Amino acid sequence: MGDAERDSSRSGAGQSSADPSRSGASAESGGDDGAGSAVSVSPPTRDDASGYGLGLTIVGAVLLALGYYGVLAVRESGEFGRAVPEPFYFLAIAVLFVLELLNSRRLGAVALARALAFAAVYGTLVVFAVEGGAALWAAPEIALEGYGGVTVLAGALVVSALAYVGYLTVVDRDG
């Protein structure tokens, strides 16, 4: 699913673009020039969520849960890159950056900033998730004892969902 599909779901396909409640602008904004207009942030609606965003939320939750164990493993051992050599982490981050950049339907400063942010956030999650996955592979009792892994996954799912709702609240949903 590309940016075009995400943007159409964010802009409320089938709704008039003159509706100020959809754009996040308050009713006092007299025009598009932005001079003297008041802008408010509106909460996202169900129509704002896209399949791509929901998928990234679930993937982000799993990566965050594994990343938690990765942080514990790196902190305990004091070594980074035990699961795979560090250059592969840079490769993974580069692939995430390129995929998100090319997924944008309009290239420009916004697409570049979005790809950088995506690569930074999800790249960090991937790096620590790989370390955490390796740590859990070596000692699965860390997550299985007392069902701690279920609690970590539940917390990660809540954090990931809150991050997505926060993103939808802040981002300009009119494209």
Angle between helices 148-170 and 51-77 (to 10 degrees): 130
Residue 80: its pLDDT value, please? 82
Higher pLDDT, 77 or 129: 129
Residue 54 pLDDT > 50: yes
pLDDT digits (tens, 9 = 90+) for 81-118: 888 988 999 999 999 999 999 888 788 888 898 899 99
Mean pLDDT for all residues in the chain: 78
pLDDT band at 42 (very low <50, low <70, confident <90, very high): low
Residue 36 pLDDT > 90: no
> C-alpha angle with apex 173: 61 to 7, nearest 5 degrees?
75
* Burial readout 15-33 (b: 16 or more C-beta within 10 A, e: otherwise): eeeeeeebbbbeeebeeee
Q: What is the pTM of this model?
A: 0.68
Q: Averaging pLDDT over each range in 17-21, 47-51, 138-142, which range is the top one?
A: 138-142
3-class DSSP assignment, residue 25:
strand
Residue 159: its pLDDT value, please? 95
13, amino acid identity: A
Residue 172: its pLDDT value, please? 58
Higher pLDDT, 3 or 67: 67
Higher pLDDT, 53 or 163: 163
Residue 111: its pLDDT value, please? 87
